[in-house]
Chains A and B, each alone.
Chain A
Amino acid sequence: MTAPLLTGTGITKDYGATPALRGVDLSVAEGEIVAVTGPSGCGKSTLLHCLAGILRTDRGSVIFRDQDIGSWSEAARSRLRRTEFGVLFQFGQMVPELTAAENVALPLLLAGSGRREAREAALAWLDRFGVADVADQMPGAMSGGQQQRCAVARAMVTRPRVLFADEPTGALDQLNGEQVMLAIVRAVREEGTAVVLVTHEAPVAAYADREIVLRDGAVDPTGLGVGAP
């Protein structure tokens, strides 16, 4: 077993008086796909947000490559999400005023790449996900499946070491969801990208190498995520 790439230890997070996470441990190895599953409200999205440095934990630590990113400034964590981390949400969250190619090129431009270079890379990634034909279309003119593939391309364009995917197929019909998952998994396997995949669907979780189940903000050792009433 190689040293973990990303390790969360004792992650605790409250929303006001409501505890969302109560001491969750999770580590992800280089290139490993880990599914985080559990019923609605179990804290799985909050865990993803904490691991990706979008939310600060109240207690516990998130270590990426031997560095405690929890102690970093918002600017430093934001930079991390533009380079080493890729983030993908349920609804692609494409910038509506930009074309597909401009959306995908955006993280590279923010990271300082030249315009031409960024567009070339964006087109290559769109092609890889089978949506090169919509490169110059606005998100509004695209189907949900096309938008989500573009969002995957945008999350992968910086060739991150970890991809955080929060219900990436949640807004799609079954076939489109399948195709998006196949595209993600093939790409991350080729790139050696680790993935934290939040989902409540077993067939989506089955794309992962391993699964942890949350229940009421803690890891459920039974793996069922459902308690006795």
Chain B
Amino acid sequence: MSTAHVLLGLLAGGPRHGYDLKRAHDERLPQAKPLAYGQVYATLGRLERDGFVEQSGQEQEGGPERTAYTLTDSGRDRLTEWLTEIEPPAPYVTSTLFAKVVVALLAADADRAREYLTAQRIAHMTRLRELTAVKTAPGATVGDVVAADYAIGHLDADLRWLQTTLARVADLQKEVIA
């Protein structure tokens, strides 16, 4: 995920200063890593340099003076462009999970591969339960549920793979050590 594009998106509704952007980011994307202020200002600096945002005045409400930023036409175009770009489907076949099974077969045997798959499944199920608990927690927002669902979908795909691969370990071994 690109922090710069998220900031452009947050500015689409009108000018905001850095502190406000950080708060809005953390609130809208609760499962993302909270933004550091330094990162917000560094990103705004780059966006300003590239002409996607510009300073639109100072604001002072009983606190320190803050610089508000506004989306430029060029920034709006960049945002539209980003939203129409399709993300490449990730090549999960190259994942570490698959590599470990093959290496287990090469370096040890089918039992070692099965032990790994079994232990990995337990770890995946534990994480799946933690994410699901977020959804049923009292006061969970739609945002919490949607964010958890994204991770749950990926873990579920891994779990299906772990299960079917376990059933195929013996056949895979024949191929790997042939």
Residues of A within 8 A of B (CB): 178, 182, 185-186, 189, 201-203, 205-209, 211, 222-229
Contact = CB atoms under 8 A, between A and B. Distances in A.
Nearest to B126: A206
Given A182-B136, A224-B163, A206 B114 contact: no
Contact of A226 (B152, B155, B166): B166
B128 A203 contact: yes
A209 to B, nearest CB: 8
Contacts of A206: 125, 128-129, 131-132, 152
Contact of B132 (A207, A223, A225): A207
Given A206-B152, A224-B118, A185 B125 contact: no
A224 B162 contact: yes
Contacts of A229: 167-168, 170-171
B138 to A, nearest CB: 8
Given A202-B156, A228-B114, A207 B136 contact: yes
Contacts of A208: 129
B136 A203 contact: no
B169 interface: yes
5 contacts: A182-B135, A206-B152, A209-B129, A228-B167, A228-B169
Contacts of B136: 182, 185-186, 189, 207
B72 to A, nearest CB: 39
A185 B163 CA distance: 26
Contact of B121 (A178, A209, A223, A227): A223
A128 to B, nearest CB: 15
Contacts of B135: 182
Contacts of B132: 203, 206-207
Nearest to B171: A229
Given A189-B136, A206-B125, 6 more contacts: A178-B149, A182-B135, A208-B129, A223-B122, A225-B163, A228-B170
